[in-house]
Structure 1
Amino acid sequence: MISVILKGHDFVYEVFELLRIFFVNDEIRFIDEKALVDDQSLLIESILYKNNHSYVVETNIKKGDKLLSSSVINEAEKIGVKDFSEKKKLKIAVKMSIYEAVTKVVEMKAPWGILTGVRPTKVVHELIDKGYNDESILEILLNNYKIFKEKAKLILNIAKLQRKYIYPVLKTNFSLYVSIPFCPTRCVYCSFPSNPLDKSKNYVSEYVEKLIYEIDKVGELTENMKINTVYIGGGTPTSISISYLEKIIDRIQNVFGTDNIAEFTVEAGRPDTISRDVLIKLKKLGIDRISINPQTMNENTLKLIGRKHSSKDILEAFSLAREIGFRNINMDLIVGLPNEGVEDIIKTMEFIEKLKPDNLTVHTMAIKRASKLNESLNDFKLSKQKEIEKMIDITRKFAYEMGMYPYYLYRQKQILGNMENVGYTVQDKECLYNILIMEEKQTILAVGAGGVSKIFFPDENRIERVPNVKNLNEYLKRVDEMIERKKKFIKLLT
């Protein structure tokens, strides 16, 4: 049990998210009185006060009557970035103080320092926008955000690469996400909207009908806007009949036109849903980017996580896609899958190196609340931080040897080893949609069950999240409501 007392500030969310990095398996509770702490609990006091017209931040960590560590930051209002508001500076100072005190008493490393958000590159973009040079940005990341040097350099390089794809920011530009919430089977780690086809195949026809209806209505709402990219994801889009996919893609192209679609991605995902007929038809429809996602090339792991295909199926599907003419193929893999270690990652990367994909997305295993894995953690062996670090390092070295460089990055809650997910690419094959969805500098309109639209207001640098319902039956009944949810925000852009 970790007990926390806050004095002089109410940064509950920020403090909780930071402490959760270090105390993964402990309950963290916020209390008002020290008397509520038993002698066996760890007490963390975070105090903010004024002293001679200057702010002081103090953190004390105690167990019983014993002071284990402390940290004091004077003149907290002068922290780091002069352009930040006083409240933001104080928030950073509170987290810095807690970080410094906690790292004296725990072994867990925090490579991302006090950054707890999903998109660490946003910090760099903000600093670049404010006119800071590379040297100053690195100094801020290292000293104020406590980020490890290799991570700071990583996000600085990624942000600089991304800017040519993000700017100029135009509020009438948008990308389209299309959710196909069906899969052959549900993987143990999955938390996405995904309905196994053996139980939901009778809903597919009606779902496609409702989805096309929503696409039509979004087309009407965006007649004064300009589409940029399209991404069909899921689930596994290719798990439904190719005739249904053809209808969806045809409607998208008819409604929005093809001239302005700079990139059109379809997640082929599971190799057990890929055939020559599927790939030929996708190619004829003008799809220029697909994903074939092994997650691992180890047979035992594929069975364990619920994937009904083999590594041979992956190799055959990839070779077939190349033969048919796809020149932009992404592959996803997951570091830290149950029961996997360093040797397993090496084996997977050796397979991928031979295939030479154009993009490689390396995910670190995250324990999602809605996943089967979260419900049965005791049934699986998961890697610890040091092993995760070794495996991530292996994927990075292989990616560089394949002529790839990192182009987007994001993090997730409950991610193993407190690491990150990184997208690598060969020259000029960056996925535009991945950059846009992660950096949140363009409106993403999502259609289908579980899709989340993100309406971007550049004048305020603000995102408004507009979710569609996740439940398949609810979506079928409430599609008009999903359209209305988007309508009132799209109107503000046009």
Structure 2
Amino acid sequence: MYALKLENVKNRNLYEELIKLFLPPSRYRIFTDSDAEIPEDAVIFREEGDKDEVKRQIYQYLNQQTGLRPKWGILTGIRPVKLAGELCRKLGSEEAAENYLQEKYYVNKKKTELLLRLYRDQQRELGVPEEKSAGIYIGIPFCPTRCLYCSFTSNQADPEEMERYLEALFSEIAFVGRNMRRDGIFAESIYIGGGTPTSLDAGQLERLLSQIRTHFDLSRLREFTVEAGRPDTVTQEKLEVLRSFGVDRISINPQSMHDKTLETIGRSHSTRDTLRAFTAARKTGGFLINMDLIAGLPGETTEDFEDSLRKTAELMPDNITLHTLAVKRSSRLKEMDEHFHYRFQEQTEEMLEKARAFLTEKGWRPYYLYRQKHTAGSTENLGYCRDHSMSVYNVRIMEEAQSIIALGAGGITKVYYPRENRLERVPNVSNYEIYIERIEEMLERKRKNLFRR
């Protein structure tokens, strides 16, 4: 058992997330100034202004004790590409940023090179967001089933409940659209996520998209995405509705191409459903298609993951996003095995490394990256694209240089102030029933904190 004392520290979580990269919670105890009894052998780390210096000290100590050297160094945030960009601008060159990431943040060479490549490609292809532009997120918090690893706002609800939710959401769409027009804000991208938006029937989708077309200025829209993540919810009728309203990007997410795994993780679709949905989407035409896979799913071997990747790549989707399984606090997997991600670190890293080599050979390239807590090997989620098929919304939400206006239950609006380079969060409540009951309060929050009226 390791005893670690954090002196003069207000936010212990900042350091505990780093400690967890080396040790499971069962192998350490953290003490602070408020603790009455502290073991004599406790190793002391004192914060005196420079939090990164404390992180470096913790990293060096635990590296010596465990022999581990996490590839992301002392970085625990989810947006390392954003940091790389800030360093490039601050230090004046990619070379200086690369040295800083390796020497001050202990990020290894491969990860550093990946960050700088992503930043360079994103800037070249998408540039800087226009003034007064915004990304729009609209949440549909319903799914056919709840996955084993899920911690998102998702619910199983009957059609009547979905109708009640849509009526409240339509009020927010009308309110936001009206105020955006008045303030001269325009949508650069729209992303309808969830949950599973295609849990709605074709008629409900048509009404939702009609509301968006009515209330938002779409004349400068660069991208319109709808998640169709559960293949079993995708029908020809729904695809035709999406296409008729100008949706040009969808996600069809197998997660695995093995039916046994899908059953284990609580997905209600089969591999056959995935192939059927993808074929229908390609036949309908007009969509860039993303497909998600997850490395490190329970019961899967490296060979299983490689097989899923090969089968997915054979379909030639425009984007493939590789996620690392994260053991989230509110997921069923956390309740079953809270140390799951510690036991499969090497295997998950092997999966992702083989996937990188395979996708590069087949013509995909990485274009956006984010990290999550409690992933096996403290790895990353990495989106790959073909040709010029970067998702505008995915890049913008990670670089945090544009306001993201989020509507619906669980949506968190992030208002960007470019002069100070800062964000202010304006959250909606997560529970969809409470969202319906308090919709006027949600509008008032946006009126005061987004539109400043």
Which TM-score bucket, shorter chain as reference? over 0.9
Q: Distance in 2 between matches of 1:48 and 1:184?
A: 48
Name the CA distance, whole Å, in 1 between partners of 2:101 and 2:317: 32
The residue that corresponds to 2:306 in the other structure is 346
- Counterpart CA distance in 2 for 1:165 and 1:381 is 35
Shift of 1:276: 1.3
1:402 pairs, out of 362, 385, 398, with: 362
1:54-100 CA distances to partner (integer Å, 9 max, x unpaired)? xxxxxxxxxxxxxxxxxxxxxxxxxxxxxxxxx4xx22222112211
Asked if 1:211 is matched to 2:169, the reply is yes
| C-alpha RMSD of the superposition | 2.1
CA distance in 2 between partners of 1:32 and 1:423 (Å):
42
Between the aligned partners of 1:381 and 1:468, the Cα distance in structure 2 is 31
Label 1:34 to 1:297 Cα distance change in 2 as closer, same or farther (>3 A).
Answer: same
- How far apart, in 2, do the equivalents of 1:239 and 1:34 lie? 50
State the shift of 1:402 in Å: 2.5
How far residue 242 of structure 1 moved from its aligned partner, in angstroms, is: 1.3
Q: Give the direction of change, closer, same or farther, for the CA distance of 1:349–1:383 in structure 2 (3 Å limit).
A: farther
User: Could you tell me which residue of structure 1 aligns to residue 22 of structure 2?
Assistant: 22
Contact 2:230-2:254 at 8 Å conserved across structures: yes
Kindly provide the amino acid, as one letter, of the partner of residue 79 in structure 2. R
Q: Distance between the aligned counterparts of 1:483 and 1:343, measured in 2?
A: 50
Distance across 2 between alignment mates of 1:48 and 1:265: 44
Q: Aligned to 1:218, what secondary structure does the other structure show? A: helix
Aligned partners of 2:410 and 2:428 also within 8 Å: yes
Per the alignment, residue 323 of structure 1 pairs with 283
- SS at structure 2 position matched to 1:250: helix
Instruction: State the Cα deviation string for residues 5-55 of structure 1 (Å, max 9, x = none).
Output: 23466563432221122123335422339983458xx73311467xxxxxx
Q: Secondary structure at the match of 1:195?
A: coil
Q: CA deviation at 1:127?
A: 1.2
Secondary structure, counterpart of 2:25 in structure 1: coil
Task: Give me the TM-score of the superposition, normalised by structure 2.
Answer: 0.94
Counterpart of 1:130 in 2: which secondary structure? helix
Aligned to 1:186: 146
* SS of match in other structure, 2:64: coil
Distance 2:43 2:270 in 1: 49
How far off its partner does 1:157 sit? 0.6
Asked if 2 retains the 8 angstrom alpha-carbon contact of 1:339 and 1:382, the reply is: no
Closer/same/farther in 2, CA of residues 382 and 311 from structure 1, 3 Å limit: farther
Distance 2:82 2:339 in 1: 37
User: Would you say how many aligned residue pairs link Structure 1 and Structure 2?
Assistant: 450
Aligned-pair CA distance for 1:279: 1.1
How far apart in 2 are the matches of 1:312 and 1:38?
58
Write out aligned runs for 1:69-88 (5 A): 87=49
Give me the whole-angstrom Cα distance separating, in 1, the residues matched to 2:71 and 2:415: 31
CA separation in 2, counterparts of 1:381 and 1:408?
Answer: 23
SS in 2 for 1:105: helix
* Aligned counterparts of 2:47 and 2:195: Cα–Cα separation in 1: 46
Distance 1:379 1:28 in 2: 16
Q: Which residue of 1 aligns with 2:69?
A: 109
Which is further off, 144-153 or 26-35? 26-35
Alpha-carbon spacing, 1:452–1:10, altered in 2? closer, same or farther (3 Å):
closer
SS state of the match for residue 405, structure 2? strand
Amino acid at match of 1:295: Q
- Judge conservation of contact 2:81–2:118 (CA < 8 Å) in 1: yes
Structure 1's unaligned 5+ residue stretches are 50-86
Structure 2 partner of 1:221: 179
Letter in 2 for 1:93: E
Partner of 1:286: 246
- The higher radius of gyration belongs to 1
- Correspondence for 2:271: 311
Distance 1:33 1:45, change over 3 A: farther
Say if 2:437 is the partner of 1:477: yes
Question: Does structure 1 conserve the Cα–Cα contact (< 8 Å) formed by 2:140 and 2:195?
Answer: yes
Deviations 1:454-481 (A, max 9, x none): 1111111111111111112101101111
What residue identity is the alignment partner of 2:16? F
The 1-side partners of 2:370 and 2:236 are apart by: 33
Counterpart in the other structure of 1:46: 45
Distance 2:175 2:232 in 1: 33
Give the deviation of 1:432 after TM superposition: 0.3
Residues 204 and 33 from structure 1, CA distance in 2 versus in 1: closer, same or farther, beyond 3 angstroms? closer
Segments of 5+ residues of structure 2 without an aligned counterpart are none
Provide the residue aligned with 1:436 in structure 2: 396
Alignment of 1:144-183 (within 5 A): 144-164=104-124, 167-183=127-143
- Corresponding residue for residue 3 of structure 2: 3
Kept in 1: contact 2:367–2:390 (CA 8 A): yes
Once the two structures are superposed, residues 342-385 of structure 1 have per-residue CA deviations (whole angstroms, 9 ceiling, x without a partner) of: 01111101101210110111110001111111121279798521
Taking only the aligned residue pairs, the percentage that are identical comes to 41
Q: How does 1:265-280 map to 2 (within 5 A)?
A: 265-280=225-240
What residue in structure 2 maps to residue 123 of structure 1?
83
Cα distance in structure 2, aligned partners of 1:202 and 1:178 = 20
Report the AA paired with residue 4 of structure 2.
V
Distance 1:48 1:479 in 2: 43
Answer whether contact 1:404 1:424 (CA < 8 A) is retained: yes
